[in-house]
Amino acid sequence: MSDLPSLRIEASPPFSYCGMDCFCSFCVKDGRKEVKRYGLIVTCLASRAVYLEVLDDMPTDSLINGLRNVIPIRGQVRLIRCDRGTNFVGASNE
pLDDT tens profile 62-88: 888 888 888 888 888 888 888 877 666
User: How many CB atoms neighbour CB 35 within 10 A?
Assistant: 12
Each residue's pLDDT tens digit in the chain (94 positions)?
778 777 777 788 888 899 998 888 899 998 999 999 999 999 998 888 999 999 988 888 888 888 888 888 888 888 888 887 766 666 666 6
Phi and psi for 80 in degrees, rounded to 5?
Answer: -120, 125
pLDDT the model gives residue 9: 76
pLDDT the model gives residue 3: 80
pTM here?
0.77
Distance CA 23, CA 42 (A): 11
Distance CA 30, CA 35 (A): 7
